[in-house]
Amino acid sequence: MTDYQTHDHDVLVIGAGGAGLRAAIEAAASGVSVGLVCKSLLGKAHTVMAEGGVAAALANVDDRDNWRVHFADTMRGGQYVNNWRMAELHAREAPERVRELEAWGALFDRTDDGRILQRNFGGHRYPRLAHVGDRTGLEMIRTLQDHGVHQGIDVHMEVTILSLLMDGDRVAGAFGYDRERGRFRLFRAKAVVLATGGIGRAYSITSNSWEYTGDGHALAYHAGAALQDMEFVQFHPTGMVWPPSVRGILVTEGVRGEGGVLKNREGRRFMFDDIPENYRSQTADTPEEGWSYTQGDKNARRPPELLTRDHVARCIVREVREGRGSPHGGVYLDIAWIKERLPKAAEHIRRKLPSMYHQFKQLADIDITTTPMEVGPTTHYIMGGIRVDGDTQMSTVPGLYAAGECAAGLHGANRLGGNSLSDLLVFGKRAGEFAAKFAKEAHDTRIDAGQLEETAAIALEPFSRNGSPGEGPFQVQQDLQTMMQDLVGIVRTDSEMQRALEGIGKLGDRARRAGVQGNREYNPGWHTALDLPNLLTISEAITRSAIERKESRGGHFRDDYQDKDPAFGINVLVRKGAGGEMQLSREAIPALPPELKQIIEEMK
Amino acid sequence: MAVEALKPDFADTGEQLEKQSASHKQEQVGRATFRVWRGDSTGGKLVDYTTQVTEGMVVLDAIHQIQADQANDLAVRWNCKAGKCGSCSAEVNGNPRLMCMTRLNDLNLEEPVTVEPMRAFPAVRDLVTDVSWNFTVKKRIKRFKPRPPDAPDGTWRMAQADIGRVQEFRKCIECYLCQDVCHVLRDHHKHDSFIGPRFLVYVAALEMHPLDTENRIAELKEAHGVGYCNITKCCTAVCPENITITDNAIIPLKERVVDEFFDPIARLVRLVRGKR
């Protein structure tokens, strides 16, 4: 066997955003040895970009809030295909996880009486998001990072994992390469936690960075794990649309939470035109009531701009398609208008939304305290992912765990804003805890040398193909992104998705032919070539799952099946078949226990 | 090697850019040349690439376009492309900048735009540098140590007014541009005895945290080398988060060191109390 640089850990965590860091901290605290693999440098993972806040029923701002309301909100937002056990644990444990961050040094914005301040967000009945201006993700990842570096965790920066290693049906480690020198690395582990985030790079308009190529989803799939509900992709309603180079960059929902309103080119607040039935009783009747809500009036109901993201995104698409959009194909998001209501409004906006102010000023020459922003939907998040056990976060493969965005279940068909950061904390901790427990009880594993040699040989193939100008990995990736955006985007039909499947096949052929120039040292062309198979796998899983779900629910909207169908109150599973083909099945959701059912009924 | 000698004083960087931008603010659509440093730890050279420029583009877009169309193996770090992660630090026309936040219409595109890696760190490849020293420095700084919770609910109370300053420091995205520009590190290579502006800000955030009970003053003077900073404020000038590094973080830390070690009254009090 080739002598690869080898690392031995009890628990290997792949991914170093919020979920991975929290998992690593928890596993290390229980006394096992932990390795943490980062695709980028430590502290640069996607969590750093989260803006609005972390959802937890602390009840600091509105004492009517509690875990039961948070649970009901999460289930309603997810259209009841959530893993209810995860929704319950998440709502119960999020407050403790947030307070724990404070004990580790995080400094959230404060209420007048010195407690953690909470803000309004879409789909949350009460102000629930603990936040730091609009840079909450930075505060969270830095707190976890600075705490984690003192926990004896071995951090492997700029390492990408190519495959999971198996010993029989059990996970035994992972095999990858470091970016700096391009050398292969072997990680032996008794348990592995996947915390690799999402898939946004499968689409051309996205708020996600280059890292988001569905690595964890693909690794788990090829290791035999089931993926669940991959059709549920969240298109965040407000991304930047102009200038072209910033298209897709996120504009936080916090803008709407602070009173920002959506208008079409005619100046109409179109969100009042279409309010879904199951949210009608919670939604303001008038702009006046909506404004009162954002200013903390407990008797007011929320403005329609704070309906769930799937709905707001579709309303924006409708306005644009019917010719009422802004000049660059979006709509207007106006926070400047609050100067009619608030003294020193400009100062208030800059204090509450500093990154947004900065971002628009620097990248679009727009002062958001005086001028409305142009915004439109952007691929943001995938609710679907690796199927896990609600309590332990173990996948269907023994010893393989998943947490955060790459795991499925908590968010059902649509995620509420703020529920991602709390997801990372609650289930990152649980995954770390149970992975450590598994590792302590597990026998040593055996690594199959043949599997390593095969993976290494495949990884080096792009160099032997030299690459022709105009057909490198970047071109294949761009064409895949454009196709997924056009054919498996916000509004879907069977015929378009069938075309996408054909396209994925052809792009797979092109990916297998695309070569790269240069050598193995920090070579982005090679890295992109190695990410491509993952992107193709998850694109196929999304497309096949979206074809399978013949209804519209949450983030999944079918033009040919526009209504929700009770028969689809199920999970769609994807597994790798014996012959390597993708197999789909439908899995019934276990019945809700009576006490949870009662909560949902009470809060309808 | 570099065509342009690095400017000795970065304090006027912002002003220079504004002047440049005033004369070039008109929409630029056309082609522009980027003079990009290509090489590794053994050396390298500047290579010219010409690419299409469209409205609103930033330097990172141009680098990506060159990477996709002409040089697939051009190494560059980036993540968020929105000034939030601090990965794409480089020197654009000699100025330390985040490439994702540097608009092309703020630059003179009639001349080639020079893009080089941060020069205070060892080269890895092309625009990627070895910043691992920063991670080892942070680990050496004593961690956050809160006082026991003292509110009835088992947490703490903190007033917004008391955390504003620390929140300013915690805006830091760890782009290390301040480390790149600091002459103590860049020119005098005091990496063994000086932790640099980034980590002085980090220590300041810990020291001024209302809950923290740790004392880092002795290390600040010795191991962290706060005395090396001679307040040229180059770090403040390049900070993309506009943290007033020198005035709000470093000078107060210097004052604490002075109070602790050079104030005769404090010294007397220490003697009487029997502390250090």
DSSP A190-248: EEEEE-----GGGSSSBS--TT-S-HHHHHHHHTTPPEE-TT-EEEEEEEE-SSGGGTT
Whether A445 has a pLDDT exceeding 90, the answer reads no
CA-to-CA dists, residue A380 to A235, A329, B258, angstroms: 5, 18, 50
Tell me, yes or no, whether B176 lies in a domain: yes
Classify residue A254: in a domain, yes or no. yes
Q: Are residues B246 and B166 in the same domain?
A: yes
CB contacts of B72 in chain A (<8 Å) are 467, 472-474, 516-518, 523-525, 528
Residue A371 in domain: yes
Residues of B in contact with A245 (CB under 8 A): 54, 56-58, 61
Q: Is B14 on the interface with A (CB under 8 A)?
A: no
H helices within A465-603, ranges in order? 473-487, 494-513, 524-548, 594-602
**A135-168 tens-digit pLDDT:** 999 999 999 999 999 999 999 999 999 999 999 9
Nearest by CB to residue B157, choosing from A115, A146, A150, is A115
| pLDDT above 70: residue A21 | yes
* Residue in B79, B126, B158 closest to A110 by CB: B158
Domain annotation covers residue A516: no
Q: What pLDDT is stored for residue B261 in this prediction?
A: 84
Residue B9 lies in a domain: no
Annotated catalytic residues of A are 236, 256
Q: What is the pLDDT of residue B274?
A: 61
Q: What residue of B is the nearest CA neighbor of A520?
A: B73
Convert B70-104 to b/e letters by CB count within 10 Å (16 or more is b). Answer: ebbbbbbbbbbbbbbbbbbbbbbbbbbbbbbbbbb
Question: In this structure, is residue A337 part of a structural domain?
Answer: yes
Cα dihedral sign, B42-B43-B49-B53: positive
pLDDT value for B23: 41
Tell me the pairing of strands A570-576 and A582-588. Answer: antiparallel
pLDDT attached to residue B91:
98
Taking all residues of chain A, what is their mean pLDDT, rounded to a whole number? 96
B216 touching A, CB under 8 A? Answer: no
Q: What is the mean pLDDT of residues A267-285?
A: 95
Name the pLDDT band for A471 (thresholds 50, 70, 90).
Answer: confident
Q: What angle do CA A120, A122, A128 make, to 5 degrees?
A: 35
Residue B233 corresponds to which tokens in the numbers above?
A: 């404020």
Residues of chain B contacting residue A114, judged by C-beta atoms under 8 Å apart: 156-159
pLDDT at A404 > cutoff 50 = yes
State residue B77's pLDDT score: 98
pLDDT > 90? residue A466:
no
**Which of A43, A114, A474 is opposite residue B72, by nearest beta carbon?**
A474
pLDDT-based confidence at A469, cuts 50/70/90? low
Judge: A474–B67 Cβ closer than 8 Å, yes or no: yes
Structure tokens at A216: 């964890």
Give domain status of residue B161, yes or no: yes
Least trusted range by pLDDT, from A240-254, A476-490, A535-549: A240-254
> Is B136 found in the same domain as B67?
no
A322 within domain boundaries: yes
What CATH number is given to the structural domain containing B37? Answer: 3.10.20.30
**Rounded Cα distance, A197 and A427, in Å:** 13
CATH of the domain at A325: 3.90.700.10
Q: Would you say residue A257 lies in a domain?
A: yes
Query: How far is residue B276's CA from residue B263's CA, in Å, rounded to a whole number?
Result: 14
Spatial contact of A337 and A290, defined as CB atoms under 8 Å apart: no
Residues B143 and B245 in one domain: yes
Same domain, B85 and B152: no
Residue A24 gets which letter from DSSP?
A: H
Contacts of A253 by beta carbon, 8 Å cutoff, 6+ apart: A51, A52, A121, A122, A236, A238, A306, A309, A417
Q: B155 near B149, Cβ under 8 Å? A: yes
What's the pLDDT at B260? 84
Residue B245 within any structural domain of the chain: yes
Residues B161 and B103 in one domain: no
Picking from B66, B97, B129, the residue at the C-terminal end of a domain is B129
Model confidence at A313: pLDDT above 70: yes
Give a yes or no: residue A252 inside a domain. yes
For B125, the closest of A105, A358, A522 (CB atoms) is A522
| Mean pLDDT of the A58-76 span | 97
Tokens of residue B45, six digits? 């050279």
Is A268 within a domain? yes
What's the total number of domains in chain B? 2
**Of the candidates A13, A14, A82, A15, the residue with the CA atom closest to the CA atom of residue A408:** A82
The CATH number of residue B158's host domain is 1.10.1060.10
| Residue with the two structure tokens 């009840």 | A59
Residue B6 has a pLDDT of 35
Contacts of B51 in chain A (CB under 8 A): none
Residues (pLDDT < 70) of chain B are: 1-29, 274-276
**Minimal CA separation from A274 to chain B, in Å:** 33
Residue B214 lies in a domain: yes
> B130: nearest CA in chain A?
A180
Task: A337-341: list long-range contacts, CB under 8 Å, 24+ apart.
Answer: A337/A261, A337/A372, A338/A258, A338/A259, A338/A260, A339/A369, A341/A259, A341/A291
Q: How far apart are the first and last CA of chain A?
A: 61
Neighbours of B31 (CB within 10 A): 10
Q: What angle do CA A466, A470, A473 make, to 5 degrees?
A: 60
Q: Which residue has the higher pLDDT, B21 or A298?
A: A298
* B51 φ/ψ angles, rounded to the nearest 5 degrees: -145, 165
Domain final residue, candidates B77, B97, B129: B129
Kindly write down the DSSP assignment for every residue of A127-187, as one continuous string.
Answer: --EE-STT-HHHHHHHHHHHHHTTTTPEEETTEEEEEEEEETTEEEEEEEEETTT--EEEE
Predicted TM-score (pTM) of the model is 0.94
**CB contact residues (below 8 A), chain B span 227-266, against chain A:** none
Residue B243 DSSP label: -
**Residue A48: what pLDDT?**
95
Q: How is residue A343 annotated by DSSP?
A: T
Same domain, B106 and B139: no
Amino acid B25 reads K
What's the token pair of residue A50? Answer: 């989260």
Residue B8 included in any domain: no
- Interface contact A242-B146, CB threshold 8 A: no
**Calpha distance A98→A101 (Å, rounded):** 5
Measured CA to CA, the distance from residue A138 to residue A145 in angstroms comes to 10
Say what the pLDDT of residue B269 is. Answer: 75
Closest CA to B221 of B270, B260, B180, B166: B260
Q: Which residues pair with B31 in a beta bridge?
A: B52
B176/B260 same-domain check:
yes
**Total domain count, chain A:** 1
A30 CB-near residues (< 8 Å, 6+ apart): A432, A433, A436, A437, A440
Question: B52 lies in a domain?
Answer: yes
pLDDT at site A1: 63
Most distant CA pair in chain A, distance: 72
Q: Which two tokens stand for residue A417?
A: 């804003």
- Give the residue numbers spanning the domain of B59: 27-129
With CB atoms and an 8 Å threshold, state whether A246 touches B159.
no
pLDDT of amino acid A470: 61
Put simply, the chain B residues between 175 and 194 with a CB less than 8 A from any chain A CB are none
Same domain (yes/no): B115, B194:
no
Convert the pLDDT of each residue in A50-62 to its tens digit.
989 999 999 999 9
In a domain, B21, yes or no: no
Residue B197 in contact with residue B250, Cβ under 8 Å?
yes
| Interatomic CA distance for residues A19 and A198, integer angstroms | 12
Domain span including residue A367? 239-378
Q: What is the pLDDT of residue A468?
A: 65
What does A233-271 look like in DSSP terms, one character per residue?
A: EEEEEEEE-SSGGGTT-B--THHHHTT-EEE-TT---GG
